[in-house]
Structure 1
């Protein structure tokens, strides 16, 4: 991003708010808190972070929000209600993206639904393809858990990029895998699972007997499953077949 010298605006992130109006779905606020409509339906940039279930004071009281930070022509923060369809479709889309895709520019779009509903669709700006998401079972989905999973993936990628800018792509992914391996070992120990029970679970869910054979996405999913199991203690270790 080019740095302009001389007088200008205060260099801080511009908040973008999601809300369906008659002819637009998101807007900015002026200094006197007036809505400034954004009629464009797409924003392209690189995601730099996400905060989920963030408690924010509003004119209607405290509310939980999802804040997605994205660097485009300037830094933006897209804020939406954590329980909104926009936030949910955003999380489902981000969860579907690979580590490679999350490091590149993406296009976030808004589209109106019924009444006050706004949906989010993410596109790959290189091939104009939308990221497919699956709404099956969304009413039973643990959105808090999904938000934590997406947050871990995005924020770790961004932090790794900042701290290891001179490290190759292969090394960065290797370090991410190593971090997840350590976390999984810790969670399995706290759960009291044996290595054989862990292998049984991997075989049942992923069709693989070793964590080393999992993709980065599968490894992250396994780590989050174990983390949620530890929190809820709802899933017993798999029985050996």
Structure 2
């Protein structure tokens, strides 16, 4: 991003809010709190961070929001309700994207649905291909755990500063280690869905077995042990 010298606007991020209206799906606030609609349907930039399940005070009291930080022509923060379809679609897409894809510009697009629903779609701005996400089993999904997983993933990318004395191979190994852990989490997601476990069942087992409430808190050894346990349950439940 080009740095402009001299007088200019105060250097702070521009908040963008999601809301389905008759002719737009997001807006910004003027200094007098008046809504200014954004008619463009997409924002292209580099994702630099995310805060999930953030407590925010507004005129209605305390609400839970998710803030996505995007660096484009200037810094933006896309704020959405943590329980909205927009936010859930965002998390599903970010979970699928690889570390390499997240290091490059992406296009975040809004799409109006029924009633007040707004969907989020992420595209590769070079190939114009969207990130294909599946909503199968989304009602049973542990959204809080997914949000933590995505947050750790993105923050590791943007806070990853290898030691100057670290070799390139060591740097790659560190990145791969994080990617492999994501694979383990995804594998356990598949097994949990096949077993029809609810998020409560999963949390109860983790608490009883490992003394932890989330798979994100497990060590690599523990997550592999958990996967082996789930595979065993599937084998035992399989009809002969």
Fold in common (TM above 0.5): yes
Kept in 1, the 8 Å contact 2:64–2:82? The answer is yes
Name the SS for the 1:20 alignment partner: coil
2-structure distance, mates of 1:132, 1:81: 22
* Aligned equivalent of 1:5: 5
* Mapping for residues 88-237 of structure 1, pairs under 5 Å: 88-160=88-160, 163-164=161-162, 171-177=170-176, 215=180, 217-219=182-184, 221=186, 229=206, 230=210, 231-232=212-213
CA RMSD of aligned residues (A): 2.9
Tell me: CA distance 1:169–1:12, structure 2 relative to 1, closer, same or farther (3 Å).
farther
Tell me: CA distance 1:44–1:232, structure 2 relative to 1, closer, same or farther (3 Å).
same
Q: 1:172 Cα deviation (Å)?
A: 3.3
TM-score (norm 2): 0.76
Tell me: CA distance 1:93–1:99, structure 2 relative to 1, closer, same or farther (3 Å).
same
Tell me: CA distance 1:144–1:137, structure 2 relative to 1, closer, same or farther (3 Å).
same
Report how many aligned residue pairs link the two structures.
204
Name the SS for the 1:57 alignment partner: strand
Unaligned runs of 5+ in 2: 193-201, 216-225, 236-240
Kept in 2, the 8 Å contact 1:67–1:77? The answer is yes
1-structure distance, mates of 2:98, 2:116: 31
